[in-house]
Amino acid sequence: MKIALNNGFLTDNSNDVTTGAYFVVTNSNSKYADDALDAGAKLISPRQAIEILGLKERIKIIGITGTNGKTTTAFLLAHTLSNLGYKCAISGTCGSFVDGRQIAKKGLTTSQILETLSYIKEAVECDCKYFIMEVSSHAIAQNRIEGLEFALKIFTNLSQDHLDFHKSFDEYARVKSSFLSDSSDKIINCDDKNISYNALNALTYSLKNGNIIASNFELKDGIISTIQSKSEIANLSLNLHGKFNLYNALGVIAASKKLLNLDLQSICNALKGFSGVAGRMEIVSPDIIVDFAHTPDGIEKVLSSITERELIVVFGAGGDRDKSKRAIMGQIVAKYAKVAIVTSDNPRSEDPNSIIEQVASKMPPNTIKITDRKEAIKRAIDIQNGEVLLILGKGDEDYQEINGIKYPFSDQKIVKEILSNKG
């Protein structure tokens, strides 16, 4: 990564170094620092890079962490702040965007720090007031957010994921909690008891007992709820589905309150008109929905949000990732689905059939197993007879990763192609 300056450039790649360049030393490239120094670079920290780029105090950085809900919360917050008159930038799972314009394709949930700084620089140059970024547990553990000063931190929820990296849920929780241990302003889902945080400058949200509470809610056709904060009461109406999205909305309302201190109804009004995020409960055609859910908790929340209809569920599990969640995911789908079809997700270097067997290991014997994801989706559409079809795991991904190669694959496009061929 290189960022041009008037009198040189910044880089985090020692192979790019020329005399006079600034080499930004990070957790991942520190072993190449001596090489960069020998090539004539000046070694600097990410914090010094922020100062050289003139970004300090030019924009407010908002970091969102949690197992599920980060992406929807980020886009809903940007939508809300935009409706209230503030330009925003977003960086996360779906890529990076400045005032609605995509400037980078999807990559890591949280980019390497110099790449993030390049996005922040572009956001500043476009007069954005807020830079909203998803903060993954990997990024916290690997110090990929070094040097960033967060004006606000948001915690959504915590459930099993990434145990291939963190080895235990306790360690996963510890890493997430470390992000929330300082005295910065923060927004906390206090219904989730798996996290610890510094209560100083924290504003909590809840369906039970928090600073901002949702009550009298209805979730059948979108979200309708009463929102309360101290002596304020407001009405919320959203075209989103599920209790999990009510939690996401509460986090956004709390964040907006903390940032702007506007009256509650004005904030709730600013949430209106949000149409969701691609691949997050995305209605591809009537009765066919694509969602990114790929953890036990995420799948449970999605499936439990549709109670009035029978379900057909197509899903799988990613290879080279937390194996302990696979059978749990299968059990959850079996609990809710009339028909469950286990298929391949992104097998990566693993045998897809082996992954499928692990997912289905505690599911009923009549569970359908189809390795080819396209064929699995076609089978589901062929047998669909009034049920809602949910296709889970990949969301808006446009590839399937097999043995190091990313082949073009989009659940949405496959659905539309199959329906088109059926006439």
Which residues fall in the annotated binding site? Answer: 14, 66-72, 109-110, 136, 142, 144, 321, 345-348, 393, 397
End-to-end CA distance of the chain: 47
Per the annotation, binding residues for meso-2,6-diaminopimelate are 321, 345-348, 393, 397
Contact assessment for residue 359 and residue 332, using Cβ atoms and an 8 Å cutoff: no
Helix ranges (H only) for 135-242 are 137-141, 163-166, 169-179
Helix (H) or strand (E) holding 142: none
Residue labelled with tokens 């992406």: 71
Residue 284 has a CB neighbour count (10 Å cut-off) of 19
Contact assessment for residue 74 and residue 64, using Cβ atoms and an 8 Å cutoff: yes
Residue labelled with tokens 């009035």: 308
Measured CA to CA, the distance from residue 146 to residue 27 in angstroms comes to 9
Measured CA to CA, the distance from residue 410 to residue 399 in angstroms comes to 6
Three-state secondary structure string covering 305-374 = CCCCCCEEEEECCCCCCCHHHHHHHHHHHHHHCCEEEECCCCCECCCHHHHHHHHHCCCCCCCEECCCHH
Nearest residue to 81 via CA among 130, 127, 115: 130
Per the annotation, binding residues for ATP are 66-72
Measured CA to CA, the distance from residue 204 to residue 212 in angstroms comes to 6
Residue labelled with tokens 């300082």: 182
Instruction: Give the DSSP letter of residue 41.
Output: P
Contact assessment for residue 402 and residue 348, using Cβ atoms and an 8 Å cutoff: yes
Residue 16: exposed, middle, or buried by beta-carbon count in 10 A (0-12, 13-18, 19+)?
Answer: middle
